[in-house]
C-alpha cells in the first residue's frame, strides 16, 4: 500500500518497472468556484486492471471524463505511451485508443448488435453501407471476447439481457484498436450471474494487453478484478498502488476519511509527493 | 472543499467535486438578502416570497427574468408593440378607437376562453388539437337545443348539456392518452378530424345555418352573452365592488400570514397590485363607456362577456393555485413519475384535464356563436385556424409547452394579443393580402413565442 | 440456457434445438424471422410466433387491404373494375408520397404537420410557373424550382427543430399556417389552371398525372424491374451465404421475387385494360413508376447509407447517437428537407390531378397531413420513432386510397369519410401504442 504523501518516486510505476500506458500528473479541474480535482496523479499500466474507488462526489466521473476527452484539465499533464498529449475532445481520445463505456451504455434499442457496434463509424463500400464486412468483424470481436450467449448478431439490442448489453457495449469499445478502456460502473445494474460474466470479460480484456480502468462502488467486484487500486477523496488521489497492498477496510477508510491514520484528511498543500 | 473553522461555519461557498451540486457561480451564499443570491433566483423562488421591500422585489424579479423565467413580460411587451405598430399603420389611426377596441375585447374573449382551456392540457405537457372543432360542436349543440320550434330547452340547460357532452368527448380523448398511452397529439388530431366531420353532420349539411331568434327571450340571453351590454353605471359599481373585495381579501390574507409568523409580501407590493387592477379595470370601463354609436342611438357599456370571462379566469386561477386538484396538475406536469410515486392518480388527473379543457372549449364555442351575431354554420370559423390561434395565445401568454408552468391569466393576456393582431390585420385594408396575413401573422407569432419558451427553458437549466 | 430468468426473455422449452424458429425466446427477442429460418416452413412459423408475441409488422396493413378490397367489392361491384382500380392507384400515389415524406419525420421521433401545405404550396408554385401569360417556364424548370423552394421550407423548419430544439409539432404547426398564407399570396387570390392543352408546358404538367405508358412499354418496364430486383436480391443473399453471414433461406428469396413479379404483373394487366367509356385509354399511368422510383431511392437512403442508419439511431436513442459522435443537428435538418422535397413531388402530382387550384383547395390540402400520418402508421411505422420503412408508406397509402375511393363510390358524404378516416387513424395509433408493450413510461 502506498499513501501518496509518503511515496518514494517511482513507486507507482507498473510492476515490472516499464512506463505505464497512461500517466496523469497534477491534474486540476474546476467548474466555476467548485474545485473537482486537486493535483491528481494516476498511472494506468497496460495489461492491468485499475479499480477507481471513491465516495459520491469524490470526482471519479470528472476524472474519467477528463481522460476520455470530455473535459480539459486546468493544470497538469497527461502522458500517453510516454509522450505528453492534449486530449481536447472525445475524438482525440478515440484516436489515441482510449474508449469509454458509460453507465447508461449508450446503445440504440431499435438497432441490432452490428449496427450498434459500428454506430458513428460505419464502413462504406461504394458509397453504401458495407454490411457484410461489418457483420464479420462484429462477430469476430464477440467471439474473441467469448460472448456467446447472444442468439443472433442481428438481434435488436432491446431484446438482450442486461449482462449481454453490457458485453455488447464493451465489445463496441474494444473493437477499435483501443489500448485503454474506461468502464463506468459496469456491474451496477446486473444480477449475480451477469456480473460474473462481465467480470470475466474484463479479465479477458486485460489478458489481451489492454489497460482497463473500472469505476465501481462494489468493492467486492473491484477486489476480484483489479490489479491496482486508486482511491479518490474529495477531489484528491489519496491512495494508489498494487491491489495487494489494500484490503477492504483500508479502502473504505480512504474513501470516507482520506487516510488510514484515523484522523480526517488534512491537506497541508504539499501532501502530494510527486506533484 | 468545505472547511469547518473553529465555529463550524462555512467560510466559503460550499464546494464539492461534483459540479452539479451548486448552480451557476455566485458569491455571498451566506447573505441575508436572499434576493441578491443568484442561486436562489435561478431556483425559481417567487420573488414575492423573498422580498422584504419593494426594491428587493423588483431586483429579484429582474434576476428571475434574466435567469429565464420571464413570465408575462413578453406578452405585455408584445401588446404594447402591437398597439403602437397598428395604431401607426391603420388608416386614420383608428386602431385604438374605442369602438374598435371594444370589438377587439369581444373577439378576444373567444380566444381567451379557448386559451384557458388549452392551458389546462398544456400544463400536463400534452396538447389538445381538437379544441377548435370541439368548441364549434359545443356552440352548435347549445344553439340547436334552444331552437323553437324544436327542443326549446331553457338556455341554461342547453349550455349545461353542451358543456357536459363536450366534457365527455374530452374525457374520451384523455382516456386514450392516459390509459392507452396514445400520444395526445395523435388522439386529438384524430378527434379534430372526427369532430370536423361530426360538426357538419350535426348542423345537418354543409351549408345549413342555425341561428338564434332574438325575439325569443330564451334564445336572446345567449345572443346577449357577447352582444349585450352592461350600462356604464352598473359597470363602475361592479368594478368598485371587485376592487374592494380583492383588496380586502389580499389584505386579510397578508395579515393572517403575518400573525402566524409566515413570510409576507411587502405592503407596497400588494398596494401596487390592487392599484394596477383598479387602473386596468377603470380603463376598460372608460373605453366601453364612450359612445360608439351615433348621437341618435347611443351605444355604451361593457359587453357581458368581459366580466363573464374574467370571472372564469378567477375561477380557474382559484382552482389551479389553491386547490388540491390544481396542485396535482402542476405536479403531474412537472414530474409525472414523482407525482405517481406521491400517490397522485396521474391518469385521473390527465383525463380530468382533457375533459375540463373540452368543456371550457364548448363555452368558447357558444361565445363564438354569440359573437357572430347568433349564427352558426360550417363556415363560421375554421377549426384548424382556431386551434392554431389558441395554442399561439396560450404559449405567448406564458404557458410552457413542456408542462408544469402557466396560469389562467396567461390565457387571458395571450387571447387579447391574438385578438388584437387578428382584428388589426383586417383593419389594415390590405385587400388581397389580408387573408394570407391572417394565417402568416399568427403562425409567426406562434413560432416566436415558442422560441422564447424553449430558450427560456434552456436558460433556466430545465 | 441459463438459470437466470432475465437472461432469456421468454420462458421456453427446447431452447437448445437447432431449429431456432421453434424457440419462442428467439421470436420474442425480435430477431427478424428471415434470418433465423432455415427453410420456408420455418420462416412462416417464426413469423407467426413473432406476430403472437406482439410485433405484427406489415400484417395489419395486408389485412386492411384485404378487408378494404373484399368489403367494398361486396358493397359496390364496380370497386374492383379496371377503371376504378386505376383511379384508386392514381389517387393513392399522393397519399403514398405524403406518407413517405412523413416517415422521415416519424422515424426521428418527430412529426411534420406541414406536409399537406408544402404539397399545396408546391402545387401552386409549379402551376403558376408554367402559366404562358405569366412566367411561362418550361415544365421541367418549373418542377426543379418548385422542389428547391420546398427544400428551402424544409430546411427552415428542420433548423428550428434541430438547432433550436423547438418541438416539431409546433414548428410545423406554425409552418403550415405561414405556408397557407404564402400559398394564397402566390395564388393571387383567384385560380390557376393547367388545363389548356395548346400550351406545351401546361400540357406536360397535365400529363404527369393523367398520362400513361403504352401497354407494351408497361410490360417491358415490369420485366426490367423484376429482372433487376430479382438479380439484386439473389446475388446479395448468395454473397451472404458464401461468406457464412446471417442470410435468409433460398426459398424465401425466391418467394419474394415471385411475389414482386406477380403483384407487378397484376398491376400492369389491370392498367392495360381499356378503361375509357369511348375511345381508348390504357396503359400504366406515369405516376406509378414515379412513386416506385421515389420508393426505391428512399429505401436505399434509409437502409443502405450512413444517413439512414443515423436516422434510425436518433429515433431509437438520441443520446446514444450523440455519444457515438453523430451530428444530430444535420441529420435532423436534412430529414425535414427530404420530407419537404417529397411533399413537393406530391405537390406536382396534386397540381396535375386537380387541374385548377383555388383558395379552397389550398385550405383543403391541410387535411392531407392526417391521411399521411394515418397511412404511415397503418403501414407499420411507429409514432415513437426508430421503427418503420418507406414501403409502409406505400402500403398504407394504398389502404387509405382504397377507403377513400370505396366510400366515395358508395356515395358517402365527405364529412362521414372524415369520420371514418379519423377512426382508422385512431385504430392504427392504438395498435402502434399497444404493440410497444414494455416501452418506457411516457413521461
Please answer yes or no on whether B391 and C173 come within 8 Å at the CB atom.
Answer: yes
pLDDT of residue A1: 45
Question: Which pLDDT does position C52 carry in this prediction?
Answer: 59
Cα(B183)–Cα(B195) distance, integer angstroms: 18
Say if residue A271's pLDDT is above 50: no
pLDDT score recorded for residue B51: 67
Give tens-digit pLDDT for A155-187: 888 888 888 888 899 888 888 878 999 999 988
Distance from CA of C158 to the nearest CA of B (A): 13
Phi-psi region of A185 (alpha: psi -120 to 50; beta: other; left: phi over 0): left
A63, pLDDT greater than 50: yes
The residue segments making up the domain with residue C239 are 212-284
Q: Which of these three, C241, C266, C284, is where a domain ends?
A: C284
DSSP assigned state of A41: E
User: Whats the size of chain B, residue-wise?
Assistant: 462
Given this model, what pLDDT does residue A110 score? 83
Q: Which of C284, C307, C337 is the last residue of a domain?
A: C284
Q: Mutation test of the interface with chain B: which of A34, A40, A238, A264, choosing the one with the most B Cβ atoms within 10 A?
A: A34
In a shared domain, residues C365 and C292: yes
Rounded CA gap, B173 and B189, in Å?
Answer: 10
CB pairs under 8 A between B and C: 141
In this prediction, residue B298 carries a pLDDT of 75
Phi-psi domain of B127 (left: phi exceeds 0; alpha: psi -120 through 50; beta: other): beta
Domain ranges of chain A: 1-97+182-275, 101-176
pLDDT of residue C163: 92
Query: How many beta-carbon pairs below 8 A join chains A and C?
Result: 119
Is residue C25 assigned to a domain?
no
User: Do C190 and C315 have their domain in common?
Assistant: yes
Q: Enter the C-alpha cell of residue B447.
A: 413560432
Tell me the average pLDDT across C392-405. 90
Minimal Cα–Cα distance from A117 to chain C, Å?
A: 10
Structural domain count, chain C: 2
Alpha helices in C305-413 (DSSP H): 306-316, 318-323, 328-354, 359-364, 368-379, 390-409
Q: How confident is the model at residue C55 (pLDDT cuts 50, 70, 90)?
A: low
A7: pLDDT strictly greater than 70: no
Same-domain status, C258 and C139: no
Residue A2's pLDDT is 43
- pLDDT the model gives residue C4: 34
Q: Taking a C-beta distance cutoff of 8 angstroms, is the pair B382, B401 a contact? A: no
Domain range list for chain B: 1-61, 73-225+304-450, 229-300
Helix, strand or coil, per DSSP, at residue B409: helix
pLDDT for res B110: 93
Looking at per-residue pLDDT, the higher value among B383 and C164 belongs to C164
Q: pLDDT tens digit string along C64-118?
A: 788 888 888 888 888 888 888 888 999 999 999 999 999 999 999 999 999 999 9
Is the Cβ pair A152, C20 closer than 8 Å? Answer: yes
Query: Which regions in chain B score pLDDT beneath 70?
Result: 1-51, 63-71, 294-295, 431-432, 457-462
Contact, C352 vs A142, CB < 8 A?
no
What is the average pLDDT value for chain C, to the nearest integer?
Answer: 83
The domain over range A1-97+182-275 is classified in CATH as 3.20.20.120: no
Q: Is C125 in the same domain as C112? A: yes
C299 and C428 both lie in a single domain: yes
| Lowest model confidence (mean pLDDT) among B43-52, B218-227, C158-167, C222-231 | B43-52
Which residues of A fall within a CB distance of 8 Å from B19? 31-32, 34, 36, 62
Measured between alpha carbons, how far is A38 from A275 in angstroms, rounded to an integer? 10
Question: For the residues C430-437, what does the mean pLDDT come to?
Answer: 73
Q: For residue B444, what pLDDT is reported?
A: 85
C404 lies in the same domain as C321: yes
Does C163 share its domain with C193? yes
Q: In what order do the strands lie in the sheet with A211-215?
A: A98-101, A180-184, A211-215, A49-54, A228-233, A236-242
- Domain membership of residue C48 (yes or no) is no
* pLDDT for position C30: 59
Q: Output C342 or C246, whichever has higher pLDDT.
A: C342
C275 has pLDDT over 90: no
Phi, psi of A260 (to 5 degrees): -110, 15
- Domain B73-225+304-450 fold: ABC transporter involved in vitamin B12 uptake, BtuC (1.10.3470)
Specify whether C272 is located in the same domain as C296.
Answer: no
Q: For residue A183, which phi and psi values (nearest 5 degrees)?
A: -120, 120
State the pLDDT at residue C117: 94
Give the lowest-confidence range in C198-202, C207-211, C212-216. Answer: C198-202
| Chain C residues within 8 A of A119 when measuring between CB atoms | 309, 313, 320-321, 324, 326
Each residue of A77-134: pLDDT tens digit?
999 998 999 998 888 888 899 998 988 788 888 888 998 899 888 888 888 888 888 9
Q: Across the strands, what pairs with A240?
A: A230
More confident residue, B12 or A51: A51
Q: What is the DSSP letter of A147?
A: -
HEC-encoded secondary structure of chain B: CCCECCCCCECCCCCCCCCCCCCCCCCCCCCCCHHHCHHHHHCCCCHHHHCCCHHHHHHHHHHHHHCCCCCCHHHHHHHHHHHHHHHHHCHHHCCCCHHHHHHHHHHHHHHHHHHHHHHHHHCCCCCCCCHHHHHHHHHHHHHHHCCCCCCCCCHHHHHHHHHHHHHHHHHHHHHHHHCCCCCHHHHHHHHHHHHHHHHHHHHCCCCCEEECCCCCHHHHHHHHHHHCEECHHHHHHHHHHHHHHHHHHHHHHHHHHHHCCCCCCCHHHHHHHHHHHHHHHHHHHHHHHCCCCCCCCCCCCEECHHHHHHHHHHHHHHHHHHCHHHHHHHHHHHCHHHHHHCCCCHHHHHHHHHHHHHHHHHHHHHHHHHHCCCEEECCCCCHHHHHHHHHHHHHHHCCCCCCCCCCHHHHHHHHHHHHHHHHHHHHCCCHHHHHHHHHHHHHHHHHHHHHHHHHHHHHCCC
Do C334 and C192 lie in one domain? The reply is yes
Task: Tell me how far CA of residue A175 lies from CA of A94, A100, A269, B338, in angstroms.
Answer: 11, 12, 42, 40
| ipTM surpassing 0.90 | no
Q: Which residues pair with C192 in a beta bridge?
A: C357
Q: Are C366 and B169 in contact (CB under 8 A)?
A: no
| Partner chains of C (3+ C-beta pairs under 8 Å) | A, B
Amino acid at each position: 500500500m502506498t499513501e501518496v504523501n509518503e511515496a518514494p518516486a517511482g513507486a507507482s510505476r507498473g510492476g515490472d518497472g516499464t512506463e505505464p500506458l497512461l500517466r496523469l500528473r497534477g491534474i486540476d479541474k474546476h467548474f466555476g468556484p467548485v474545485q473537482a480535482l486537486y493535483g491528481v496523479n494516476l498511472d494506468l499500466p497496460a495489461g492491468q486492471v485499475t479499480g477507481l474507488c471513491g465516495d459520491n462526489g469524490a470526482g471519479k466521473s470528472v476524472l474519467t471524463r477528463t481522460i476520455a476527452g470530455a473535459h480539459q484539465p486546468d493544470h497538469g499533464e497527461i502522458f500517453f505511451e510516454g509522450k505528453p498529449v492534449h486530449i481536447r475532445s472525445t475524438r482525440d481520445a478515440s484516436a489515441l485508443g482510449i474508449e469509454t463505456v458509460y453507465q447508461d451504455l449508450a446503445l440504440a434499442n431499435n438497432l441490432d448488435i452490428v449496427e450498434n457496434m459500428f454506430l458513428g463509424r460505419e464502413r462504406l463500400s461504394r458509397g453504401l453501407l458495407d454490411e457484410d464486412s461489418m457483420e464479420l468483424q462484429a462477430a469476430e470481436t464477440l467471439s474473441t471476447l467469448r460472448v456467446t450467449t447472444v442468439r443472433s448478431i442481428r438481434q435488436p439490442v432491446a431484446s438482450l439481457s442486461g449482462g449481454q448489453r453490457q458485453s455488447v457495449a464493451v465489445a463496441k469499445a474494444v473493437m477499435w484498436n483501443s489500448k485503454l478502456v474506461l468502464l463506468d460502473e459496469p456491474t451496477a445494474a446486473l444480477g449475480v450471474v451477469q456480473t460474473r460474466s462481465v467480470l470475466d470479460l474484463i479479465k479477458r480484456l486485460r489478458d489481451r494487453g489492454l489497460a482497463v480502468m473500472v469505476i465501481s462502488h462494489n468493492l467486492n467486484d473491484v477486489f476480484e478484478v483489479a490489479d491496482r487500486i486508486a482511491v479518490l477523496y474529495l477531489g484528491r488521489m489519496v491512495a494508489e498502488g498494487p491491489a495487494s497492498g489494500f484490503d477492504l477496510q483500508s479502502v473504505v477508510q480512504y474513501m470516507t476519511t482520506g487516510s488510514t491514520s484515523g484522523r480526517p484528511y488534512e491537506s497541508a498543500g504539499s501532501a502530494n509527493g510527486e506533484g | 472543499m468545505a472547511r469547518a473553522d473553529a465555529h463550524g461555519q462555512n467560510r466559503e461557498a460550499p464546494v464539492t467535486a461534483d459540479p452539479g451540486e451548486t448552480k451557476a457561480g455566485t458569491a455571498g451564499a451566506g447573505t441575508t438578502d436572499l434576493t441578491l443570491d443568484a442561486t436562489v433566483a435561478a431556483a425559481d423562488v417567487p420573488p414575492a416570497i423573498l422580498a422584504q421591500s419593494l426594491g428587493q422585489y423588483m431586483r429579484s424579479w429582474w434576476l428571475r427574468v434574466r435567469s429565464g423565467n420571464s413570465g408575462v413580460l413578453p406578452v405585455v411587451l408584445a401588446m404594447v408593440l402591437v398597439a403602437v405598430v397598428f395604431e401607426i399603420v391603420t388608416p386614420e389611426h383608428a386602431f385604438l378607437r374605442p369602438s374598435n377596441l371594444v370589438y377587439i375585447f369581444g373577439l378576444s374573449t373567444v380566444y381567451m376562453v379557448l386559451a384557458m382551456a388549452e392551458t389546462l392540457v398544456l400544463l400536463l405537457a400534452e396538447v389538445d388539437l381538437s379544441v377548435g372543432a370541439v368548441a364549434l360542436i359545443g356552440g352548435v349543440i347549445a344553439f340547436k337545443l334552444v331552437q323553437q320550434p324544436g327542443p326549446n330547452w331553457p338556455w341554461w340547460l342547453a349550455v349545461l348539456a353542451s358543456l357536459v357532452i363536450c366534457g365527455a368527448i374530452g374525457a374520451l380523448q384523455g382516456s386514450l392518452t392516459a390509459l392507452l398511452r396514445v400520444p395526445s397529439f395523435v388522439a386529438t388530431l384524430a378527434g379534430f378530424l372526427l369532430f370536423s366531420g361530426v360538426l357538419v353532420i350535426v348542423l345537418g349539411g354543409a351549408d345549413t345555418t342555425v341561428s338564434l331568434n332574438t325575439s325569443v327571450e330564451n334564445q336572446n340571453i345567449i345572443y346577449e352573452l357577447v352582444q349585450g351590454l352592461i350600462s356604464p353605471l352598473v359597470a363602475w359599481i361592479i368594478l368598485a365592488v371587485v376592487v374592494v373585495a380583492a383588496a380586502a381579501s389580499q389584505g386579510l390574507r397578508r395579515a393572517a400570514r403575518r400573525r402566524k409568523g409566515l413570510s409576507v409580501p411587502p405592503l407596497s407590493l400588494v398596494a401596487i397590485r390592487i392599484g394596477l387592477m383598479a387602473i386596468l379595470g377603470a380603463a376598460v370601463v372608460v373605453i366601453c363607456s364612450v359612445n360608439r354609436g351615433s348621437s341618435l342611438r347611443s351605444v355604451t357599456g361593457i359587453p357581458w362577456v368581459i366580466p363573464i370571462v374574467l370571472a372564469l379566469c378567477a375561477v380557474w386561477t382559484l382552482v389551479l393555485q389553491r386547490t388540491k386538484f390544481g396542485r396535482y396538475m402542476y405536479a403531474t406536469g412537472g414530474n409525472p413519475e414523482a407525482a405517481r410515486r406521491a400517490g397522485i392518480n396521474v391518469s385521473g388527473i390527465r383525463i380530468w384535464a382533457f375533459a375540463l379543457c373540452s368543456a371550457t372549449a364548448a363555452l368558447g364555442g357558444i361565445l363564438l356563436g354569440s359573437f357572430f351575431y347568433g349564427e352558426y354554420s360550417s363556415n363560421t370559423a375554421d377549426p384548424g385556424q382556431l386551434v392554431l390561434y389558441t395554442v399561439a395565445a396560450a404559449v405567448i401568454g406564458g404557458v410552457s409547452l413542456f408542462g408544469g408552468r402557466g396560469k389562467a391569466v396567461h390565457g387571458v393576456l395571450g387571447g387579447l394579443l391574438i385578438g388584437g393582431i387578428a382584428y388589426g390585420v383586417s383593419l389594415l385594408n390590405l385587400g388581397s393580402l389580408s387573408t394570407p396575413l391572417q394565417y402568416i401573422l399568427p403562425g409567426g407569432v406562434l413560432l416566436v413565442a415558442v422560441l422564447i419558451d424553449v430558450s427560456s427553458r434552456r436558460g433556466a437549466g430545465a | 440456457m441459463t438459470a437466470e430468468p432475465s437472461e432469456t426473455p421468454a420462458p421456453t422449452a427446447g431452447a437448445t434445438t437447432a431449429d431456432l424458429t421453434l424457440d419462442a425466446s428467439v421470436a420474442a427477442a425480435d430477431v427478424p424471422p428471415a434470418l433465423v429460418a432455415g427453410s420456408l416452413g420455418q420462416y412462416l412459423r417464426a413469423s407467426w410466433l413473432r406476430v403472437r408475441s406482439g410485433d405484427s409488422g406489415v400484417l395489419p396493413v395486408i389485412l386492411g387491404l384485404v378487408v378494404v378490397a373484399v368489403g367494398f367489392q361486396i358493397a359496390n361491384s364496380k370497386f374492383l373494375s379496371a377503371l376504378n382500380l386505376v383511379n384508386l392507384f392514381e389517387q393513392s400515389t399522393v397519399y403514398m408520397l405524403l406518407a413517405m415524406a412523413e416517415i422521415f419525420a416519424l422515424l426521428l421521433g418527430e412529426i411534420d404537420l406541414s406536409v399537406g401545405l408544402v404539397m399545396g404550396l408546391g402545387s401552386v408554385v409549379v402551376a403558376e410557373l408554367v402559366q404562358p401569360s405569366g412566367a411561362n417556364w418550361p415544365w421541367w424548370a418549373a418542377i426543379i424550382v418548385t422542389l428547391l423552394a420546398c427544400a428551402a421550407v424544409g430546411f427552415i423548419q428542420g433548423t428550428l427543430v434541430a438547432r433550436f430544439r423547438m418541438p416539431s409539432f409546433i414548428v410545423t404547426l406554425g409552418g403550415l399556417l405561414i405556408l397557407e398564407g404564402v400559398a394564397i399570396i402566390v395564388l393571387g387570390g383567384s385560380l390557376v389552371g393547367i388545363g389548356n392543352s395548346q400550351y406545351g408546358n401546361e400540357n406536360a404538367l397535365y400529363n404527369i398525372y393523367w398520362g400513361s405508358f403504352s401497354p407494351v412499354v408497361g410490360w417491358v418496364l415490369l420485366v426490367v424491374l423484376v429482372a433487376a430486383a430479382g438479380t439484386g436480391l439473389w446475388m446479395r443473399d448468395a454473397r451472404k451465404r458464401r461468406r457464412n453471414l446471417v442470410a435468409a433461406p433460398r426459398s424465401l428469396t425466391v418467394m419474394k421475387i415471385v411475389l414482386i413479379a406477380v403483384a407487378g404483373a397484376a398491376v400492369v394487366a389491370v392498367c392495360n385494360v381499356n378503361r375509357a367509356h369511348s375511345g381508348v385509354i390504357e396503359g400504366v399511368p406515369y405516376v406509378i413508376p414515379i412513386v416506385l422510383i421515389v420508393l426505391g431511392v428512399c429505401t436505399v437512403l434509409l437502409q443502405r447509407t450512413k444517413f439512414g442508419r443515423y436516422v434510425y439511431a436518433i429515433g431509437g436513442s438520441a443520446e446514444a447517437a450523440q455519444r457515438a459522435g453523430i451530428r444530430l443537428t444535420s441529420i435532423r435538418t436534412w430529414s425535414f428537407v427530404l420530407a419537404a422535397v417529397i411533399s413537393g413531388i406530391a405537390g406536382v402530382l396534386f397540381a396535375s390531378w386537380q387541374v385548377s387550384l383555388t383558395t379552397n383547395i389550398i385550405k383543403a390540402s391541410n387535411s392531407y397531413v392526417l391521411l399521411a400520418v394515418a397511412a404511415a402508421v397503418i403501414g407499420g411505422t411507429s409514432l415513437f420513432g426508430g421503427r418503420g420503412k418507406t414501403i409502409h408508406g406505400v402500403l398504407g397509402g394504398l389502404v387509405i386510397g382504397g377507403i377513400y375511393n370505396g366510400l366515395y363510390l358508395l356515395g358517402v358524404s365527405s364529412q362521414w369519410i372524415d369520420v371514418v378516416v379519423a377512426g382508422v387513424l385512431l385504430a392504427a395509433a392504438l395498435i402502434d401504442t399497444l404493440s410497444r408493450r414494455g416501452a418506457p413510461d411516457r413521461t
